[in-house]
Chains A and B, each alone.
Chain A
Amino acid sequence: MKLLIVDDSVIIQSRIARILDSPRLNFIQIAGTAQNGLEALGVFRQCMPELVTMDITMPKMDGVDCTEKMININPDCNILVVSALSDKATALKTLKKGARGFLYKPFSEKELIDAFLELTS
């Protein structure tokens, strides 16, 4: 299963990549990374991932708009929003745009693994 990691922080991108080394997630391969919504759309069209982790607060295009546009391209894509914005309204907004899950930062390794497994089960 191909994964696109979208986050303006390289530290978060690396953290997600390291957690993906878990044997429980060996069915997921990183197909690309992007640091803003606009760049993410370009990578998305190129690699057509089945799975995306999506930050919300990013330059150029935020994660809410990017989620909507990705779902328009591929409605079957599983988008997991990974954001520090921990108010319910933001989570609901992204779910309405087509995201399938929401994980709050800061997240633990277990929380991210569980979120991936739940999303792909």
Chain B
Amino acid sequence: MSAINEADIHSFVDAISIYFQQITREKAEIRAAYLVEGDILPTTFELTGYITVTGSFSGKVYFSASRGMVSHLLLMMHDTDHSEPRLLDAVGEIANTISGNARKHFGESMEISVPTTQTTGHGWLDKVVSPHSYVVLIKWKQYRASVVVDIQSNI
């Protein structure tokens, strides 16, 4: 097993940028990208969607956002149903889309699962992600979200 590199992380950052640009016609600001280490932990928001990666890579990719951000994203898609199942569907779809787009960089030997979603309390990501996962903090309008890339190469 080996750690992923900067170019790998860039593929996720690019996928995040493309997602927000395409859906909202506005750029999301990438506020920080850092490694989970010691006291430096990821930020968990209220709703989290994640996919499991298998094949030539293994691990998980998480997208965590506030209800406010997800509701606003749904509005941008002219979706007026902001019920809890719908918001969870949205974070799962975003995790899936970002990971699927990043696969262009990794190749088809990186397999991606269907998304899993859940409501998440403060600190949830701290307990589930591995040390040395990468965190990408996003700001869009007044909202914040995080993408955590917790994958390793099996090659």
Contacts and interface: CB of A to CB of B under 8 A. Distances in A.
Given A15-B79, A106-B19, A87 B86 contact: no
Counting chain B residues whose Cβ lies within 8 A of the other chain, the interface size class is 20 to 34
- For chain B, what secondary structure do more than half of its interface residues adopt (helix, strand, loop), or is it mixed? helix
A108 B22 CA distance: 6
- For chain A, what secondary structure do more than half of its interface residues adopt (helix, strand, loop), or is it mixed? loop
A107 B89 contact: no
B100 A85 contact: yes
B79 A11 contact: yes
B81 to A, nearest CB: 8
A10 B79 CA distance: 11
A84 interface: yes
Interface of A: 8-12, 14-15, 18, 57-59, 83-87, 89-90, 104-108
Interface of B: 18-19, 22-23, 74, 77-79, 81, 85-86, 89-90, 92-93, 96-101, 103-104, 107-108, 112-114
